[in-house]
Structure 1
């Protein structure tokens, strides 16, 4: 049936020639994202996935973002796919007017959602290393192509869907840390090194037969690679608090992701990247309890208070080495 597929989406995939003019494909609306509508379409040529950006995100707060980010997401996939083909899904078609694109369907029986694995306590640090390695290869490859800065001059979009709802929202919730958080916003916005994904989160990573695959590049931006790494490492620390039986493996995954990534840093000194990651991470840590997009699994107020307290401490007394953050958090969650 196509009852859950808007007519304009069906028309777009027909224009892409992914569905025949007289074909009535089976369709299914998929859940999982807050920023887009996503469907599986079972056409005569096989299944594929369609994604359409939303102007108002599906969260409790009033969070709006430009729908033209869809164009940059497709462009990110194409650049990243040329650099590390195994790290992204194949793009099958794009309709900029309709604000949507089609990509290869990743069969769930062969592709596990990394977030689901981690929350279930199924933690393989080798996966984290591969995420870091692939992300580092994309950053390094794009840093060698400075002409991409013009194509991905998406500062306004990145501010609207990353810096404002995370760091600036956290600053409003914590006025006594606002100056520090706004300084992180300014530094991040001014740092331009390579092509940034912007949403490297376990919910956007499928682990397939050939390793991790990055999805959801709506925040694509020419900017600071530290944002991508801090964004993902943040999730590993949060899950180490929540999934206590897997805390040791999650903390090892934190180390392994950074190790895989660090080995690929060649566009600037690795210590400089690490310092930006380590000082940005506390702001993102705080944002995941007091920003516009809090993580849904931290429902226990005592857990949220521990995140909030440690984030505020790290913001006030910043450290520039990730091992120091990891060690401090290890002591915190062991107590």
Structure 2
């Protein structure tokens, strides 16, 4: 099917092109396209995500992913793979196939490879993108994707927690409202280690189909909660150091005038609820057993009762807990 569309648009030949499925995501179909000497990637969104619980989302999110890659690629080309063909009507696009030296950061983290230089590079990239798009009405119009963000993030990560944690319903409802209305810049929406491809000297940000003009704290907390979860999982404070270097570099790149408009307590609260969502939401992490989940859940709930007042305190709290 994908080859048929590409052939209709004269992107590939009818005689030599092949499509090989690639793995790694739950929300889309991705293919390696080979056409004689050319190799590139084609991507299209799925209506039903490949997770255990029922989770549907509008496939037009592929359009917003195309726009993210184009917007960032035109202005900060070192941070994203090059988009080759943008077929918005078909909700399909192609992009460059990166060399084998690029590995997703999650795989490196899961084998204990903790580079503070990489963490700083990633923090700077996020800060640069947020600063570039800050309060830009044109970007807001281009990424007016509230419905998609609700389907892909607010409902599965936060609303779905209420059935398991009914006592937290008022706080969760307030958090959803705040995130939904705090619109300041272009948000990736899935800014996690698995979506950062890392080589010796560069990074590439991928899987930006949740792209949205919204709350910058969401992207920051999304990366922080992944790093802090791994600190708990491995019992290693090295991951806390990564979180701090990422956050420091983000602040520096964003700039003091923009950062002064963010509330650290909001980032802390988002990070804690994201941690809880990876245990009890629609998209739980795959590497935690039941005992470890119970241990981390107890820690999260104690933190929600008496949350840290700053990101630095949150990271220090995890560091002290894993020792």
TM norm. shorter chain > 0.5: yes
Equivalent residues of 1:234, 1:281 under 8 A apart = yes
Q: Give the structure 2 partner of residue 193 of structure 1.
A: 184
Instruction: Indicate how the Cα distance of structure 1 residues 209 and 43 shifts in structure 2: closer, same or farther if over 3 A, else same.
Output: farther
Kindly indicate whether residue 268 of structure 2 is the aligned counterpart of residue 278 of structure 1.
yes
Counterpart among 76, 100, 107 of residue 92 in structure 2: 100
Q: Give the structure 1 partner of residue 237 of structure 2.
A: 248
Q: Give the structure 2 partner of residue 297 of structure 1.
A: 287
Q: Is the partner of 1:117 in helix, strand or coil?
A: helix
Kindly indicate whether residue 147 of structure 2 is the aligned counterpart of residue 163 of structure 1.
no
Equivalent residues of 1:288, 1:294 under 8 A apart = yes
Shift of 1:274: 2.7
- For residues 37 and 7 of structure 2, what CA distance do their matches in structure 1 show? 12
- For residues 3 and 65 of structure 2, what CA distance do their matches in structure 1 show? 21
Counterpart among 5, 10, 13 of residue 17 in structure 1: 10
Equivalent residues of 1:88, 1:213 under 8 A apart = yes
What's the CA shift string for 1:112-147, capped at 9, x where partnerless? 110000001111111111111001000000115322
* Superposition RMSD in Å: 1.5
| Unaligned segments of structure 1, at least 5 residues | 1-7
Q: Is the partner of 2:136 in helix, strand or coil?
A: coil
Kindly indicate whether residue 146 of structure 2 is the aligned counterpart of residue 126 of structure 1.
no
Equivalent residues of 1:278, 1:322 under 8 A apart = yes
Instruction: Indicate how the Cα distance of structure 1 residues 271 and 328 shifts in structure 2: closer, same or farther if over 3 A, else same.
Output: farther
Q: Give the structure 1 partner of residue 128 of structure 2.
A: 137
Q: Is the partner of 2:312 in helix, strand or coil?
A: helix
Counterpart among 178, 202, 211 of residue 202 in structure 2: 211
- For residues 146 and 208 of structure 1, what CA distance do their matches in structure 2 show? 34
Instruction: Indicate how the Cα distance of structure 1 residues 137 and 201 shifts in structure 2: closer, same or farther if over 3 A, else same.
Output: same
- For residues 71 and 14 of structure 1, what CA distance do their matches in structure 2 show? 20
Shift of 1:28: 1.4
Q: Is the partner of 1:107 in helix, strand or coil?
A: coil
- For residues 197 and 112 of structure 1, what CA distance do their matches in structure 2 show? 19
- For residues 107 and 38 of structure 2, what CA distance do their matches in structure 1 show? 26
Shift of 1:202: 0.7
Q: Is the partner of 1:40 in helix, strand or coil?
A: strand
Equivalent residues of 1:16, 1:93 under 8 A apart = no
- For residues 319 and 37 of structure 1, what CA distance do their matches in structure 2 show? 40
- For residues 131 and 17 of structure 1, what CA distance do their matches in structure 2 show? 36
Shift of 1:153: 1.1
Shift of 1:172: 2.1
Counterpart among 64, 82, 85 of residue 74 in structure 2: 82
Kindly indicate whether residue 172 of structure 2 is the aligned counterpart of residue 149 of structure 1.
no
Q: Give the structure 2 partner of residue 41 of structure 1.
A: 33
- For residues 271 and 192 of structure 1, what CA distance do their matches in structure 2 show? 12
Q: Is the partner of 1:94 in helix, strand or coil?
A: strand
Aligned residues: 322
Q: Is the partner of 1:242 in helix, strand or coil?
A: helix
Equivalent residues of 2:41, 2:97 under 8 A apart = yes
Counterpart among 44, 59, 83 of residue 51 in structure 2: 59
Instruction: Indicate how the Cα distance of structure 1 residues 128 and 270 shifts in structure 2: closer, same or farther if over 3 A, else same.
Output: farther
